Every structure is written in structure tokens, then in C-alpha cells.
Chain A
Amino acid sequence: MPERTGPTRVKTPVPVARVGELAPGEMRLVEAKGHSIGLFNIGGEIIAVLNVCPHELAPVCRGRLSGTTLPSLPGEYVWGREGEILSCPWHGWEFDLRTGRALADPRVRVRRYEVVVDGDTIAVLV
């Protein structure tokens, strides 16, 4: 389902980086129309996130990328999704970058932007 970002407004693509500038597992902060946005390369998928945590407005994109524990049987401990979970540097809120949603409360999410890759150019719709 498309992510709801509020009332309909005209969004335009803003070029922010070149594909070769963002290796898998890397993050780069860019700015588009005054929005501070973290660009993540998660296994080849480019994900753009507003650099503001929904908890206390911290610069969430400067947090650590790691994984999380996965559903498992009693007595088992399964770690997975390495590099897909963003932890806010202030209070440790964890977000699934694939969906933007907080692990602890899926109603809460970081704001994601639609990304357009045209040739070698990465643009975000703002």
C-alpha cells in the first residue's frame, strides 16, 4: 500500500546523489527543499528518510544500522535482517527501514520519501 504522507501536494523529483556514490550499507545525508534526508543503500535498494525521529525529533539517520532478533522457538535465538534496522542515536528507538515503522509500535514510523533512480541519478520526490 502506498505510504500516506498527508494531503495531496505536488511533489517534484530533486536530484540528490549519483548511484555510485552510495555503496550498499552506506548512508549519506542530503538536503532537498530544506528537508534533511538520509539516503540509505540497503542491499541495492535506495531508501530516503527524513532525518527526524518521531520520538524526540533527534537526527535519526545518524544512528546505527544493525539487525534484530527474529521470531524463533523457545530456547532459540535467531538474529537477522542485518543492516535493515535503524536505531536512533538518542534513545534507541528502532525502525525497519524497509517499511519505516518502529519495531516497538508499528503505528509510529519515520517519514520516507519516494526515490526515483534515473540512469546514474538518484532523486527524491519532495
Chain B
Amino acid sequence: MDAPSDRPDARHRRARFAVPPPVTAIAGSADRLRLVDPTGCAVAWLGYGEALVVLGVFVQEADGRWREVLRDALVDVGASPQGWTLVERDPTMARLRCDGGDEAFEVIAAMAEGALTIERDGTLLLEAGPA
């Protein structure tokens, strides 16, 4: 059986996802994560440590160029975090734990359908992708 596809482009045949150069971490977000869309059409960098920051989100245009859609955005989690740690990650998503003093909780950041979403307990905190 031939593998079906509703995206006839040849991205999946690339030896490696061609993503733009990494962005620089900013104060309070010393540890960086890179998440890619499973199709390779978008990439995001997150910084975490004292705060959770979206360092940059890029989406790929039809001509192959990368367009920045978000930079250096602090993620408001509705609490006063004292620190963030990585729980787990794959190339497309990450689960991060926030220690907020009396409370601790997790957020999930994921790339899908060309956009970055960050959720806490099913509540969308941030979404960034092609307009």
C-alpha cells in the first residue's frame, strides 16, 4: 500500500529539518528548549528557569523563508513561579513543572498544525502561529 499523504510536498524527505538559527536566551530563562512542528513548518524556542519565556516562534512561508511571529514573550501562568524544571520532552512538545511556592503545577507546550500552544490544565495560556 502506498503511504497516503494530504501534504504532497517533500518536507518529509529532508535529511534534517531546516530550522532557523537558535535565538538567544534572556535573563531568567537560562535553559532553552527547541520544539518543531511535526511537519517541519514551524519552530519555537522556549526559555525556562526562573520564568517561562517564549524566546521565538518562526513559521515557514510557501517560498521557504522563515517569518518570526513572536519573540520574548513571558508566559503568564496565573501564579508567581519560583522556578521551572523540565519533566519530559520530545521534538514537538515539552512538559514543564512550575514550583510556585504553595502550589506546583505543570504546563504543556506543543507544536502542531504550524502553531505553538501552551496550556495549563487544559486552559490555553498562549498560542502563536501563522495569522
Contacts and interface: CB of A to CB of B under 8 A. Distances in A.
Interface of A: 4-9, 14-18, 21, 29-36, 50-54, 56-59, 100, 106-111, 121
A54 B44 CA distance: 13
B62 interface: no
Nearest to B7: A34
Nearest to A51: B12
B131 interface: no
Contacts of B92: 5-6, 50, 52, 111
Nearest to B88: A107
Contacts of B11: 34, 36
A64 to B, nearest CB: 16
* Interface residue SS majority, chain A: loop
Nearest to B43: A57
A53 B91 contact: yes
A111 B36 CA distance: 11
| Residue among B9, B88, B89, B122 having the largest count of chain A Cβ atoms under 10 Å | B88
**B interface, size bucket:** 35 or more
A59 B17 CA distance: 9
Contacts of B38: 34-35, 50, 52, 111
A100 B91 CA distance: 12
| Residue among A7, A50, A51, A54 having the largest count of chain B Cβ atoms under 10 Å | A7
A35 B9 CA distance: 11
Contacts of A106: 88
Given A7-B119, A50-B90, A34 B6 contact: yes
Interface of B: 1, 3-7, 9, 11-13, 15-17, 19, 36, 38-39, 41, 86-93, 95, 108-113, 117, 119, 122, 124
A36 B39 CA distance: 7
Contacts of B19: 57
Contacts of A8: 122
Contacts of A32: 3-5
A108 B113 CA distance: 22
A121 B4 CA distance: 13
8 contacts: A6-B109, A50-B92, A52-B92, A57-B17, A106-B88, A108-B89, A111-B92, A121-B1
A18 B1 contact: yes
B16 A58 contact: yes
